[in-house]
Chains A and B, each alone.
Chain A
Amino acid sequence: MNLNPLRESELIETRRHFFRKSATGIGTAALASLLNPKLFASPAEPNKPNKKVDTGVVGGLPGLPHFAPKAKRVIYLFMSGAPSQLDMWDYKPQLQKWFDKDLPDSIRNGQRITTMTSGQKRFPIAPSKFKFAQHGANGTWISELLPHTASIIDDISVIKTVNTEAINHDPAITYIQTGSQLPGRPSTGSWVSYGLGSMNNNLPSFVVLHSTVNGGFGGQALYARLWGAGFLSTRYQGVSLRSTGDPVLYLSNPSGLDANMRRRMLDTLGELNDERFKSVGDPEIQSRIAQYEMAYRMQSSVPELTDIKDEPESTYELYGQEAKKPGTFAANCLLARRLAERGVRFTQIFIRQWDQHGNLPNDITRQCKIIDQPSAALIKDLKQRGMLDDTLVIWGGEFGRTVYCQGKLTRQNYGRDHHPRCFTKWMAGGGIKPGVLHGETDDFSYNVTENPVHIHDLNATILHCLGVNHERLTFKHQGRDFRLTDVHGKLVKEVLA
């Protein structure tokens, strides 16, 4: 569906003409609304944000950001299923001596565990089979699974003590994404869109990308609520950018209706809608005219975004050849950079299949091969483009994995159950102090011994980097002021720049 440039300029001319000739000045109003659709936000929408005068930013709440933001945008690499901190980040060499010995009761301390292993007669320790080495200026121990990530260690800040209360995937991922284990709350990205608005009028402000693993999907389920808007307006929900079919749902014109016809249809539609506005005076109509124009512009801006033909070969040397295959984690990391370049506020990439209850060494090796190079490439790429300074990048899952083995244990093979009490995430870029290693866990990577970071703390910190006081980004719903961090959340000052 290539636009004919000549025809296109004629059409723009026609539209200008249309707006100019409109006697009541609505044309101008409509044009202004293209730049700021919020000006015509529906009055019937509950708790709509007020209009905001701010060049370049559309929507958002008045008074936000609360203070000068360090990061303008977020890229969140979400490892769904919960990667094992013990095999990637949390180095516990002394555990080799504990092979197949029982986890001391003093460590578990009666804490609840899932019913998948609570029936086990024993909780034998499974030391990681992977080799660790020290990297970077502060000598962070990193497993051999992550050679590329090790190369960016001085640019990222690693938190080893993230923790949560949820012990199963659905509640845990809902919790970290929305601040509540139960469905119904807005996701982090939708809070950010709601509070800060969009920086690109032709693209959604919150984009979600799903990654294939070896060409297919599988693993723990994901849920629309993870990028949903909860009780916020649906306009803030994440929009999935898909690797097959229309990148944005319903983007392409139907067959037999080409771009010229679409333009003509929209011109007539605008004309008729405007007629209607003149006779009934409802400002919602103007808003709808504007939304159609934006939809039309998305029809060209989105394909331009996802068309990676213009990327030089060096891009693929950086991200890996997999980045040429749409839908892979590597391709999604590259796309995230392109989205960031275009001002998309919040991009979240999901990759599944980290739920390794058994056969962990084999599966985690596969997963790390998929994510290691592209994750590191994203940081390097943002840095070389000068964008790392104002882009916050987050890596990690919904909880960690147990030091004790689930199922059969050998030196070479083992499985791990869900572990909520400590797990590792890293953050980098805008607002984050590089090269920090934060928090310490006990010898079994079971409990936090120093500097716990609850997921509410993590979310508070994410918002802080964006110039948002997490206690003040609220939405009144059912008589109560709700926020992403519920009634909790402390900033993790140690990782802040």
Chain B
Amino acid sequence: MRSNRLESEPGPSRLASPLALEVDGLSVDFSSHEGNKRVVDGVSYAIARGQTLGVVGESGCGKSMTALALLGLVPKQGCVTGRISVSGQGLSEIAIDEWPEIRGKRIAMVFQEPMTALNPAMRIGDQIAEVLHLHEGLSWKEARERAVEELRLVGIPSPAERANAYPHQLSGGMRQRVVIAMALACRPDVLIADEPTTALDVTIQAQILELMQRLQDEIGMAVQFISHNLAVVSEIADDVIVMYAGQIVERASADELFSNPLHPYTQGLIATLPKIENRQDELPVIPGMVPRLDGTLKGCRFAGRCVKADSECHALIPVLRSISPGHDVACHKVRP
């Protein structure tokens, strides 16, 4: 559904656009002595305000590199092509010295490991105040006062005292709350959350998911939620894209994707999970491994592991096309 809207709206103006984030034909290439590697390959999607897009896939599928490209953080050797816009403003052409205006203010990110995302030698209140001081032009005093409010917003008890704590004095869950407070301090249009609960225990994970949903309702930002955990994504996302070897292989609403997965990779991923409500003695498996992303790969990147693959799959690259309204699949064997 959303992809249709993307196509039918050429160059929406910044204020009128209901889309907080639009990504069109995003690719990331790395070249080395071994040749060119395309780790993100022609990825397109959009997220409306107040909506959550789940991005799932296994390690090396390009989900984190996509996020880094959105923030202009792809390592220097990498070459980013394609169009990215935040609330209608294109980011592709902006100069390097303009990035700080965007990053942290319009697009913010929450990382997997809260301990490494925070400065261990700086009080958490100061870390949040720094964001507000730089981006909102608040004085340090005002920024410190706002920082306490932000800590209160993310549910940290006695925020005025806690603002003086250092990261090591907090538990993992509290640290992730601080990282979220920092990311949301400037009320960004888009929040990228890259495996935000992976390092946390299940009971703390549930608290953080609850918090993110509440803040999204209050602030109305678009969220791109990246995770390898299908169950977490099924609980938090409105729409989901499944990535494999740098490409989007399936896109649908969360309800549709998890009740009616069409791509053999998505089907395989869901089937391999042990399920508490339906125990099987032997779990289905996806045979083989993710292919090497060098130039030699032809046809569908999943063909080597796919039970349905035939000569067509090994020769021709499948395109992402609509199978039913709002459900896109890149597979030769899935027809409308």
B and A form one assembly? no
**Could you list which residues of chain A lie within 8 angstroms of chain B, going by C-beta atoms?**
none
Q: Give me the interface of B with A, judged by CB distance under 8 Å.
A: none
